[in-house]
Amino acid sequence: MSGAGPQSDAFADLAMPLFDQIYNFAHWLTQNREEAEDLVQETYAKALKGFSSFQPGTNFRAWMYRILRNTFLTSRTGLRAAPTVPLDSDEGQLELAVEDENPETILMQSFASAMMQKAIDDLPVHYREILLLCEVEEMSYQEIAETLSIPIGTVMSRLSRARKALRDGLRLQLQRG
């Protein structure tokens, strides 16, 4: 997937600074180093090939992540990991992610990164990806909406459920000791 010319130059300038975070996200999605490497390579190849369709002035990062995610979802691992995504309703109140007996206070005292990583790992892929885009990639709701091709209302409700699912997972781990 060799590129040449000023277009490729522009692509490299925009895409290479995202390389580490793109890889991190790919690894979280695939949960496997080799598959993550293949996914990143395919993402960069597709993005370079389709760079002429990228609208300057729009969000390049969201564009790259969208390509990565779509590539993942059509891969064998992606199809296995996300056979169905529940319908998100953006109507009504958001669910309370923190409940009265929250595990945060316990987590503060006995925080372990491994525990958090396992809790994220255990999330269904549609919760894992939105949580990582928000908290790790620090994307705005608008960027997340563009990346996942969903309305902002759905971003909010899905994020709320993802947070609740993460807390439930942490609570379960804490209960199991």
Partner 1 sequence: MDCGCSFNVDEPKGSDMACEAWKTKLDTYLDGELPDEEMRGLDAHVRGCPACSADALARVQMKRAIRVAGKRFTPSAELRERIRRSVVPKPRWSLQPGWMFATGAAVMVVVVGLTSIYLSHRSGRDQLSRNQFHREHVYGEIADLHVETLASSTPVDVVSTDRHTVKPWFQGKIPFAFNLPDLQNSEFSLVGGRMSYLGQAPGAHLIYDVRKHHISVFVFQERSLNLPVSPSDDSPSVKSLPFNMETWSQDGLRYFVIGDASGADIDALAKLFKAGTTG
By CB under 8 A, name the binding residues for partner 1: 1-5, 8-9, 11-12, 15-17, 19-20, 23-24, 27-28, 33, 36-37, 40-41, 44-45, 48, 93-94, 96-98, 102, 104-105, 107-108, 111, 113, 116-117, 120, 131-132, 134-136, 138, 140-141, 156, 159-160, 163, 166-167
Rounded to an integer, what is the distance from CA 161 to the centroid of its chain? Answer: 15
Tell me the C-alpha distance between 138 and 9, whole Å.
Answer: 27
Closest CB to partner 1 among residues 107, 148: 107
In the bound complex, what is the minimum distance in angstroms from residue 44's beta carbon to partner 1? 5
Type and span of the H or E element at 134: helix 125-135
In the bound complex, what is the minimum distance in angstroms from residue 79's beta carbon to partner 1? 22
In the bound complex, what is the minimum distance in angstroms from residue 24's beta carbon to partner 1? 5
Tokens of 71: 């590539």
In the bound complex, what is the minimum distance in angstroms from residue 154's beta carbon to partner 1? 14
Tell me the C-alpha distance between 28 and 169, whole Å.
Answer: 17
CB 70 within 8 A of CB 82: no
CB 151 within 8 A of CB 90: yes
